[in-house]
């Protein structure tokens, strides 16, 4: 049996459980006698071309377990999107270090990088097994029931809206929370799991899968506020008009500012409170509601230390373990995918890279209410088991009224 030299890297936005997949792969490698090296590249593909490696086989199991429970990419991440020249530089380094197996933990863009590296290696005659290990809080990888990282971020969003709803009930007004998700509304939709009683918020949920119409939005808010005396709204950062132009981009342009794009050509939507402020101003101006507050959940929803779904943890770990097994015992490159096979149970498959790479899953129609401003029970049923055990619940007083004496 030829020796196996493994390189693992992490790319894209960190998640609460991405290190579970890393540690799952590292510890699983110990059970394969042919493995003679387990390296990690610092900051994703950038660390590969820079030859910036750490020896993961020298990490103690104790420390690895502690790192597994820590959010964000322990190896560091990157937003670099390799072109052909970059991929050839990657291959050159892999060959120099005798790497036979490459595992890249990441989302959409990372899966596309793995696809290119895989193609290039095959064309160059380099015997390299390439496995994409899924992660993304956006839950937007096709072919997956859901992706590691999504459930913990969804749990954060659900807990945040459960609390915001209580706060809004205590001091009534309009509360609007902007949630991450460029094209896929899965994370925003998770806000709905924060509601318990029929009059709990979020009362309105706006997803990038549906066209956002200002007048419709204002009418929705007005109706809810008139009915309940308050209104809690979940809005995806990726909401857009009928032409596909993001509402956030319209705002930035109206304000005369430039639009920042990343190496993948994606508009920067996070790390700014502009969208929430615009929508709050709109409500104040048009509906004459005085108390209107907006929060942008920003980086908290993907990095908050101490909000994690135990189901997500277990699955992310097993995805890493499974990726290592596919790499060493499988016969092809691919992308590990989670499939639901019970209520609730999952199994793992290896999909062709081209079936996942560069594609974006959005919320299925069955998950979105006909009104376009709410999710369906099918979505609640889909998400609930992912949130894990010990989801905190909000309780209210029974509130037995006392008779008025003065009138």
Residue among 284, 282, 253, 288 nearest 267 (CA)? 253
Supply the minimum distance, in Å, between the C-beta of residue 255 and a second copy. 9
Cα(192)–Cα(379) distance, integer angstroms: 9
Cα(131)–Cα(337) distance, integer angstroms: 11
**Of the candidates 307, 368, 374, 386, which one interacts with a second copy according to CB under 8 A?**
307
| 280 interacts with a second copy by CB under 8 A | yes
Cα(257)–Cα(212) distance, integer angstroms: 22
Q: What separation, in Å, do the N-terminal and C-terminal C-alpha atoms of the chain show?
A: 89
List strand residue ranges (DSSP E) for 244-315, in order. 292-296
The total number of residues shown for the chain amounts to: 407
Q: Tell me the window of 103-111, 138-146, 293-301, 333-341 that interacts with a second copy (CB under 8 A).
A: 293-301
278 vs 337 by CB, closer to a second copy:
278
| 338 interacts with a second copy by CB under 8 A | no
Cα(338)–Cα(343) distance, integer angstroms: 14
| 254 interacts with a second copy by CB under 8 A | no
| 35 interacts with a second copy by CB under 8 A | no
Supply the minimum distance, in Å, between the C-beta of residue 388 and a second copy. 11
Which residues, numbered 364-383, are part of the site for a second copy (CB under 8 A)?
none
Q: Tell me the window of 54-62, 325-333, 345-353, 364-372 that interacts with a second copy (CB under 8 A).
A: 54-62
* 3-class DSSP assignment, residue 341: strand
66 vs 223 by CB, closer to a second copy:
66
CA 154 to chain centre: 8
| 329 interacts with a second copy by CB under 8 A | no
| 395 interacts with a second copy by CB under 8 A | yes
Cα(32)–Cα(381) distance, integer angstroms: 39
CA dihedral 141, 75, 259, 249 (to 10 degrees): 40
Clarify whether 331 is annotated catalytic: no
Confirm if 168 and 175 have CB atoms less than 8 A apart. yes
Q: Tell me the window of 180-188, 218-226, 290-298, 349-357 that interacts with a second copy (CB under 8 A).
A: 290-298
> What is the x/- site pattern for a second copy, positions 65-94, by CB under 8 A?
-xx-xxxxxxxxxxx------------xx-
Supply the minimum distance, in Å, between the C-beta of residue 186 and a second copy. 20
**Of the candidates 302, 323, 367, 383, which one interacts with a second copy according to CB under 8 A?**
302
Supply the minimum distance, in Å, between the C-beta of residue 286 and a second copy. 16
**Of the candidates 29, 56, 99, 195, which one interacts with a second copy according to CB under 8 A?**
56
- Say how many C-beta atoms besides its own lie within 10 A of residue 60's C-beta: 8
Residue of 80, 109, 112, 138 marked active site: 138
Helices (H), 212-267: 214-228, 247-254
Q: Tell me the window of 10-18, 131-139, 198-206, 349-357 that interacts with a second copy (CB under 8 A).
A: 10-18
Q: Tell me the window of 117-125, 265-273, 316-324, 375-383 that interacts with a second copy (CB under 8 A).
A: 265-273
288 vs 329 by CB, closer to a second copy:
288
Rg (CA), the chain: 23
| 405 interacts with a second copy by CB under 8 A | yes
Which residues, numbered 162-221, are part of the site for a second copy (CB under 8 A)?
162-164, 166-167, 169-171, 175, 194
30 vs 63 by CB, closer to a second copy:
63
Confirm if 294 and 146 have CB atoms less than 8 A apart. no
Residue among 331, 316, 336, 317 nearest 131 (CA)? 336
Beta strands 334-342 and 345-351, pairing class: antiparallel
Cα(373)–Cα(369) distance, integer angstroms: 7
Cα(125)–Cα(269) distance, integer angstroms: 41
125 vs 271 by CB, closer to a second copy:
271
163 vs 352 by CB, closer to a second copy:
163
What are the φ/ψ torsions at residue 99 (nearest 5 degrees)?
A: -70, 130
Supply the minimum distance, in Å, between the C-beta of residue 251 and a second copy. 11
Which residues, numbered 110-169, are part of the site for a second copy (CB under 8 A)?
159-160, 162-164, 166-167, 169
Residue among 222, 232, 221, 226 nearest 170 (CA)? 232
Number of residues that bind a second copy (CB under 8 A): 83
Q: Which residues are catalytic?
A: 138
């Amino acid at each position: 049996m030829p020796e196996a030299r493994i390189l693992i890297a992490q790319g894209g936005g960190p998640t609460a459980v991405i290190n579970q997949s890393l540690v799952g792969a590292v510890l699983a490698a110990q059970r394969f006698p042919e493995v003679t090296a387990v390296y990690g590249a610092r900051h994703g593909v950038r660390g590969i071309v820079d030859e910036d490696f750490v020896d993961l086989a020298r990490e103690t199991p104790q420390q690895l377990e502690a790192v597994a429970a820590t959010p964000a990419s322990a190896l560091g991440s990157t937003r670099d999107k390799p072109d052909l020249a970059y991929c050839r530089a990657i291959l050159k380094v892999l060959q120099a270090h005798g790497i036979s197996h490459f595992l890249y933990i990441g989302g959409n863009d990372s899966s596309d990088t793995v696809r290119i590296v895989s193609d290039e290696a095959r064309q160059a005659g380099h015997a390299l097994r390439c496995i994409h290990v899924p992660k993304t809080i956006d839950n937007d990888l096709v072919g997956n029931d859901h992706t590691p990282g999504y459930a913990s971020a969804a749990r954060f969003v659900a807990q945040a809206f459960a609390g915001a709803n209580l706060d809004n009930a205590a001091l009534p007004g309009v509360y609007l929370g902007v949630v991450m998700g460029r094209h896929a509304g899965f994370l925003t939709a998770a806000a709905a799991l924060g509601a318990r009683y029929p009059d709990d918020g979020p009362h309105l949920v706006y997803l990038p899968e549906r066209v956002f119409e200002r007048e419709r939005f204002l009418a929705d808010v007005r109706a809810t506020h008139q009915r309940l005396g308050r209104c809690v709204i979940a809005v995806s950062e990726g909401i857009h008009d009928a032409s596909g132009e993001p509402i956030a981009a319209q705002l930035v342009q109206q304000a005369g500012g430039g639009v920042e794009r990343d190496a993948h050509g994606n508009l920067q939507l996070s790390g700014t409170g502009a969208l929430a402020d615009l929508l709050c101003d709109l409500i104040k101006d048009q509906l004459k509601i005085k108390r209107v507050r907006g929060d942008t959940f920003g980086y908290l929803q993907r990095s908050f230390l101490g909000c994690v779904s135990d189901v997500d943890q277990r699955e992310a770990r097993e995805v890493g373990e499974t990726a290592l097994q596919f790499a060493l015992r499988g016969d092809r490159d691919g992308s590990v995918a989670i499939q639901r096979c019970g209520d609730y149970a999952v199994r793992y498959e290896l999909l062709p890279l081209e079936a996942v790479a560069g594609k974006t899953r959005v919320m299925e129609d069955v998950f979105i209410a006909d009104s376009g401003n709410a999710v369906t029970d099918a979505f609640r049923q889909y998400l609930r088991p992912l949130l894990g055990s010990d989801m905190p619940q909000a309780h209210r007083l029974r509130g037995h009224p006392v008779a008025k004496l003065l009138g």
